[in-house]
Structure 1
Amino acid sequence: MTVNSDNHATASTKKRRLLSSIRDFGPGIIAVLAMMGAGDLVTASVSGSNYGYSLMWLLVASLLIRFVIVNIMGRYQVLNLKGQSIVEGYNDVSRFYPWAIGIAALISGHLLNGYMIRGAGEAVAKIVTIGDPFLWSCILVLASVFVIGRNVYNTIEKGMKVLLAMMTVAFLGLAIYSVPDIGGLIRGTIGFGIPDNTGAFGVFAVALSLIGAVAGSMANFLYPYYVRDKGWKGAAFKKLQRNDILFGISAAIVISLSIWVVGAEILRPNGIQVSSLDDISQALTIHLGSVGGVIFYLGAFGILYSSVVGFANGFPKVIIDCLHIVRPQRREQYGSKFENDPLFKWFSLFILISPVLWSVPGMPGFVTMAVFVTGLQAIIVPLVAIGLLILANKSSNFGKHRANLFENIILVATTLLTIWVTVQVIVGWFAG
């Protein structure tokens, strides 16, 4: 009896510790949702509907890349010996990096929010069936100006997560209901094949977009700042930080895999090639009717709008950090809190307001923009991976927490894979 009681007490203690750890999670989920945005939604559905499971190996590789890169960045924020931010660490690698990262963050914030805002406007227009998508994009941007930087956003963010959860459950249920081709899924995962071009987007353009959307590129830099805001610093937080991002990546796997399966098993057999939000929504509409369409657009709005405000708040932190490294007198003047620098507000407003230009009627469509912008993001990946490879192995910065052999292999392979796919896309452009 005593033994059983002890075992029960031990199990209860472990359960409480697990629940406590999950409650502490946050930066990883927020960062992964910000990294994903609509990128995973679009690339997974386009890949599944156009190429079945042939590019599944790229999804697996990209998710692995995302975990390794973001985990090292988060670990650096928690454990580096100099108390530096990740951009300060990159500055130790080369004085060129703060300039490159700052400029890339500004451009990425603008372009990423460009298709996020356009898609959010389209989603609202479909839900309320009143008004033009461009009008709703403008209204959402205007509303965001009053939300950003205020406590009310925390409440809105929780609501967006509920909407995203609804869509995820619907896609997950539909993926299971569709009875995925397990053999095809396995072959696509281990086959490392590149199929022939079909559909509206070339296979290498889709592959590059998949790497950019899933591997994360510049959006990877947001995670260390979320960790910093959480106050995680020191060896005591190492395991929590790793499990946090692992939990976030696991959520990304469920979402991406579900959407991919739905694209391959429902959209593709029905001859639906994804070129708009409407095409993706048909996956739910076919089986759930008009209710499925509403669920999709609510979920799409949740993931899009939360990313809009998340980017407008996250990217300026990276930019200001870069600016303070290049102009250290500004850090002396305004302190280490990025929001205290007056330019933080202006960068935030630029990333929030300027992208509405991409919502003007006649501009490229939402899916076209998503594929192009996420593909463009992938071009930055080698710059990020090479710098991280050097930084993660500097004992003067990382001490005993340097990158292990597996992480180094992934960073080298990431650089080579991205360069190869980019070259193929460029060759394809010239050949076409």
Structure 2
Amino acid sequence: MTQTPTPRNRWSLIGPGIVVAATGVGAGDLVATLIAGSRFGYALLWAAVVGTVLKIALAEAVGRWTLSSERTMFEGWSSLGGGWLDGRLNWAGLYFGVYVVVWGFVYGAAAMTSTALPLAALFPVLDLKAWGMLSGIAGLIFVWFGGYGLFEKVMTACVGVMFVTVVGLAVIVTPNLPELLTGLWPSLPEGSAFYTLGLIGGVGGTITMAAYGYWLNAK
């Protein structure tokens, strides 16, 4: 007999979704969108919308795959193109293996820098490099010893702070609504190609989506 979940249990089910929201739109994405907005105004708003639609589709697909197959994305990739034991090259594992190494260094540096920027501005007792290194060490300790339960609770609080901050800033800035609507029409101003790819890719999803399956299993 299936037990009907209580309202409290229903709210607890959205935990992985909150974690996905926190990691999907983090400090790096906020910095990227702010820089793109300062350079091109509302012209690239459509790229953020496209990235959001892609994010919804990809996150739903990853969750569906994990729940139906009981395997993670990494395990799914390892089944593509055969394997080393049967003499066939596992092209997916080779590609994503190289990609993860390169992406890990690039994103690790970007994430620590994005975290260090506001800390250095709020607490100028240390410079940017010191705050960046401390942020990386703090993240390592948090993930290594915290476990998923603590991670989910902290991310829930951070999402609340981020939501209030971003919405509050939007209200204070009072955007020009007619001009805002013009940004929904796809256009590429001169020099905006890399910013457009960054917006779509950053908001739409990166290799971090492979972690969603582990969070679902942990939940």
Regarding TM over 0.5, the answer is yes
Check conservation: 1:39, 1:214, Cα contact below 8 A.
no
Task: Look up the match of 1:64.
Answer: 53
* Residue 227 to residue 188, structure 1, CA distance change in 2 (3 Å): same
The residue correspondences of 1:170-209 to structure 2 (distance < 5 A) are 170-189=165-184, 191-195=185-189, 197=190, 202-209=191-198
Structure 2 alignment gaps of length 5 or more: 82-89
Question: Which structure has the greater CA radius of gyration?
Answer: 1
Check conservation: 1:31, 1:226, Cα contact below 8 A.
no
Task: Look up the match of 1:91.
Answer: 78
Deviation at 1:42, TM superposition (A): 1.6
TM-score by length of 2: 0.80
* Residue 177 to residue 209, structure 1, CA distance change in 2 (3 Å): same
Deviation at 1:214, TM superposition (A): 0.8
Per-residue CA deviation, residues 337-382 of structure 1 (Å, 9 max, x unaligned), is xxxxxxxxxxxxxxxxxxxxxxxxxxxxxxxxxxxxxxxxxxxxxx
Q: Distance in 1 between matches of 2:154 and 2:18?
A: 15
Q: Distance in 2 between matches of 1:160 and 1:88?
A: 26
Deviation at 1:41, TM superposition (A): 0.2
Q: Distance in 1 between matches of 2:187 and 2:60?
A: 28
* Residue 117 to residue 179, structure 1, CA distance change in 2 (3 Å): closer
Task: Look up the match of 1:417.
Answer: none
Q: Which amino acid aligns with 1:210?
A: L
Per-residue CA deviation, residues 204-226 of structure 1 (Å, 9 max, x unaligned), is 01101112211112122121221
By relative contact order (CA 8 Å, sep 6+), the higher-ranking structure is 2
Alignment partner of 1:123 out of 118, 127, 145: 118
Secondary structure of the corresponding residue to residue 180 of structure 1? coil
Alignment partner of 2:10 out of 11, 21, 27: 21
Secondary structure of the corresponding residue to residue 149 of structure 1? helix
Q: Which amino acid aligns with 2:181?
A: I
Choose between structure 1 and 2: higher helix proportion.
1
- Give the % identical residues: 25
Of stretches 61-70 and 152-161 in structure 1, the one that deviates more from structure 2 is: 152-161
Structure 1 alignment gaps of length 5 or more: 1-12, 231-432
Check conservation: 2:148, 2:218, Cα contact below 8 A.
no
Task: Look up the match of 1:229.
Answer: 218
Secondary structure of the corresponding residue to residue 103 of structure 1? helix
Deviation at 1:22, TM superposition (A): 2.3
TM-score by length of 1: 0.43
